[in-house]
Amino acid sequence: MEALFSYGTLQQKNVQLETFGRELLGEADTLACFVLGEIEITDPMVLERSGKRFHPILRYTGNPQDSISGTIFLITSDELAQADEYEVDAYKRALITFTSGRAAWCYIDAQANLP
Give the domain ranges of the chain: 2-109
Report the CATH number of the 2-109 domain. 3.10.490.10
| pLDDT tens per residue across span 7-62 | 999 999 999 999 999 999 999 999 999 999 999 999 999 999 999 999 999 999 99
The alpha helices in the chain, defined as continuous H runs, are 13-20, 44-50, 77-86
Cα separation, 26 vs 69, whole angstroms: 13
pTM of this structure: 0.92
